[in-house]
C-alpha cells in the first residue's frame, strides 16, 4: 500500500482557519471510516487529535475538526493559535488489517 | 493512566537483528479491545506503521517489512516485542510502541526509542 498524500506545508495567520487534506483511494480513506490525525511538535511524541474521521479525544480543543468526502479526508484547525504550529499526520486503514500514514504536513502559524 | 515504555539496544550492526520491547503499565496487553502497535520515524521523516499484534498473538505486518519482522506478546509480563532482522541503515529510526484501537487510531504512545544501524 502507498502512503496517503498530504500537502508538505500549510499556513495561516492567528485566528484564521486552515484545512489540511489527506488523499487516498477507495481502498483506504474512501473505504473505511477509520481516518485519524496526529499532531507532532518537534522532538515530541505524536498526539492523537481526531479519530474515526471526526471524533475528538477528550482534552483536544474543539478548534480541531475532521471530515471526509470520497477518498479525501480533511483536518480543519479554526482560530489558529501559535501552539498549533506543528507537523500533522493522517492515518487510515488500508484493509486486511494494514494501516498507512500520510507523509505529513508542516503547519506554520504566520 | 496507561503508559508504554520502549527498551532495547540503541545501536545495531548492519545485517543483524533489531530487538525492542514495550512494557505496558496502567493497562493490560491481554485486553480484547485493542491491538498493540509499532510505528517508526526515520530522522527528519514521517511516520510509518510497521506492525500490530493482538493479545492472542495474531499479527499484522506492513508489507514493506513483512519478510523481516516478528512481533510477539507476553501477557504475563505485560509486554510486547519487535524483532526486525537483516537491518540496514534505512531501518535507523525512532521506534514507538502504541496502543491501537481496532478502528486503527493510536491513542497512547511510548516516548520512543532511537535505534541506529551502523557498524
**Contact state of B105 with A102 under an 8 Å Cβ cutoff:** no
Query: Beta-carbon neighbour count of residue B57 at 10 Å?
Result: 11
- Looking at chain B, which residue has its C-alpha nearest residue A32? B103
CB contact under 8 A, A46 and B103: no
User: In this predicted model, what pLDDT tens digit does every residue of A4-54 receive, in sequence order?
Assistant: 999 999 999 999 999 999 999 999 999 999 999 999 999 999 999 999 999
pLDDT (average), residues B44-56: 97
Quote the pLDDT of residue A1: 67
Of A34, A57, A89, the CB nearest to B47: A89
**Residue carrying the nine cell digits 520515524:** B41
pLDDT, chain B, mean: 97
- From chain A, the residues in CB contact with B107 under 8 A are 48, 51, 57
B66 touches A at CB < 8 Å: no
Instruction: Residue A101: list chain B partners with CB under 8 A.
Output: 39, 46-49
For residue B17, the model assigns a pLDDT of 98
Among the partner residues B63, B103, B109, nearest to A46 by beta-carbon distance: B109
**Residue B59 pLDDT more than 90?**
yes
Q: Do A48 and B46 touch (CB under 8 A)?
A: no
- Measure in Å the smallest separation between the Cα of B76 and chain A Cα atoms: 25
Structure confidence at residue A2 (pLDDT): 80
Work out the average pLDDT over B7-33: 97
List the single residue in B with minimal CA-CA distance to A93.
B104
Candidate from B52, B104, B110 with C-beta closest to A92? B104
A90 closest CA partner among A43, A28, A1: A28
Average pLDDT score over residue span A68-94: 97
- Cα torsion for A47, B37, A66, A44, to the nearest 10°? 20
Cβ of residue B60 closer than 8 Å to a chain A Cβ: yes
Output the pLDDT for position A15.
Answer: 97
Average pLDDT over residues B95-110: 96
Residue B109's pLDDT band (cuts 50, 70, 90): very high
Compare CB distances from A99 to B96, B104, B107 and report the shortest one's residue. Answer: B104
- Interface list for chain A against chain B, based on CB atoms closer than 8 Å: 1, 3, 32-34, 36, 38, 45-48, 51-52, 57, 89, 91-93, 97-104
Amino acid at each position: 500500500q502507498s502512503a496517503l498524500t498530504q500537502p508538505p506545508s500549510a499556513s495561516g495567520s492567528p485566528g484564521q482557519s486552515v484545512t489540511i487534506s489527506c488523499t487516498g483511494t477507495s481502498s483506504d480513506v474512501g473505504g473505511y471510516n477509520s481516518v485519524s490525525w496526529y499532531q507532532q511538535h518537534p522532538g515530541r511524541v505524536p498526539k492523537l487529535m481526531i479519530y474515526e474521521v471526526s471524533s475528538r479525544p477528550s482534552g483536544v480543543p474543539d478548534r480541531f475538526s475532521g471530515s471526509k468526502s470520497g477518498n479525501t479526508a480533511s483536518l480543519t484547525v479554526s482560530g489558529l493559535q501559535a501552539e498549533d504550529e506543528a507537523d500533522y499526520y493522517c492515518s487510515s486503514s488500508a484493509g486486511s488489517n494494514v494501516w498507512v500514514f500520510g507523509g505529513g504536513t508542516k503547519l506554520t502559524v504566520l | 493512566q496507561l503508559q508504554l515504555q520502549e527498551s532495547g539496544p540503541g545501536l545495531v550492526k548492519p545485517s543483524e537483528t533489531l530487538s525492542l520491547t514495550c512494557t505496558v503499565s496502567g493497562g493490560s496487553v491481554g485486553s480484547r479491545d485493542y491491538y498493540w502497535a509499532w510505528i517508526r520515524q526515520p530522522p527528519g521523516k514521517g511516520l510509518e506503521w510497521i506492525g500490530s499484534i493482538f493479545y492472542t498473538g495474531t499479527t499484522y505486518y506492513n508489507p514493506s517489512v513483512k519478510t523481516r519482522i516478528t512481533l510477539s506478546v507476553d501477557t504475563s509480563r505485560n509486554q510486547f516485542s519487535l524483532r526486525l532482522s537483516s537491518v540496514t541503515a534505512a531501518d535507523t529510526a525512532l521506534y514507538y510502541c502504541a496502543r491501537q484501537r481496532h478502528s486503527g487510531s493510536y491513542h497512547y504512545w511510548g516516548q520512543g526509542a532511537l535505534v541506529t544501524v551502523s557498524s
